[in-house]
Chain A
Amino acid sequence: GAGVSQSPRYKVAKRGQDVALRCDPISGHVSLFWYQQALGQGPEFLTYFQNEAQLDKSGLPSDRFFAERPEGSVSTLKIQRTQQEDSAVYLCASSLETGSGEAFFGQGTRLTVV
């Protein structure tokens, strides 16, 4: 596809359930970022990959959050034992270059934990 694709678009999870969110970056893009956006707030950084290497995971809010990009392309953000405070939109972005190349965002996955 031409842009960053995220799936599912919407996810409703029961509290305590594990979820997996998928991001397909633009083909050939080296850098991949995950952000969390709570209602009415700006996105907050979660983690960053350069190819398959996770270079920064300082924004992951707890050890229930885990991200991977095993082949340097598709990435998965996994949340274990979901809590209500995990409800948010999860945005993925990719950029062609390392460093401050322009990032392109997907439409996000809206996660609601009930």
Chain B
Amino acid sequence: KQEVTQIPAALSVPEGENLVLNCSFTDSAIYNLQWFRQDPGKGLTSLLLIQSSQREQTSGRLNASLDKSSGRSTLYIAASQPGDSATYLCAELQNTGKLIFGQGTTLQVKP
């Protein structure tokens, strides 16, 4: 059974700090990896999708990397803002479209 793990479960940082969220996965033949944001009481918003042939993707202040050999992905958030406070989920995206999620990291950015 493929598994995805996220550490830490929660993180609190002051505004302006750069930070890294970690994700590890057991599937060495991972198809794609996707990062999502979830706000309280809301659905999931896709942030970045990294295909297995890629090593990283960037969108604004966000950068996600994928290292299949070590089974790890990171989400880098530059110059964090209070509006970045949310739960961040990484997920293995299989070729059927099925997503296998980690437990999430809840981020609080303090003004």
- Taking beta carbons and an 8 Å cutoff, which residues of A are in contact with B? 4, 31, 33, 35, 40-45, 48, 55-56, 91, 93, 95, 97-108
A107 neighbours in B (Cβ, 8 Å): 41-43
Q: Complex Cα distance A102/B41, Å?
A: 21
Is the CB–CB distance between B99 and A33 below 8 Å?
Answer: yes
B69 neighbours in A (Cβ, 8 Å): none
A43 neighbours in B (Cβ, 8 Å): 44, 89, 99, 101
Chain B interface: which size bin?
20 to 34
Complex interface bits, B25-53 against A, C-beta within 8 A gives 1, otherwise 0: 00000011000000001111110010000
With A91-B44, A100-B93, A100-B95 given, is the CB distance from A41 to B103 under 8 Å? Answer: yes
Q: Complex Cα distance A42/B6, Å?
A: 10
Count, A-B residue pairs, CB within 8 A: 66
Is the CB–CB distance between A42 and B104 below 8 Å?
Answer: yes
Residue from A35, A56, A102 within 8 A of B96 (CB atoms): A56
Q: Complex Cα distance A108/B41, Å?
A: 8
20 CB < 8 A contacts A-B: A33-B97, A33-B98, A33-B99, A42-B4, A42-B6, A42-B101, A42-B104, A43-B44, A43-B89, A43-B101, A45-B98, A56-B96, A95-B97, A100-B32, A100-B95, A100-B97, A103-B97, A105-B43, A105-B44, A107-B41
Q: Complex Cα distance A100/B50, Å?
A: 12
Q: Which residue of B lies closest to A6 (CB)?
A: B43
Q: Which residue of B lies closest to A108 (CB)?
A: B43
Q: Which residue of B lies closest to A41 (CB)?
A: B103
Residue from A4, A56, A108 within 8 A of B98 (CB atoms): A56
A31 neighbours in B (Cβ, 8 Å): 97
Is the CB–CB distance between A45 and B96 below 8 Å?
Answer: no
Is the CB–CB distance between B97 and A42 below 8 Å?
Answer: no
B80-101 contacts to A, CB under 8 A, are: 89, 91, 93-101
A35 neighbours in B (Cβ, 8 Å): 99, 101
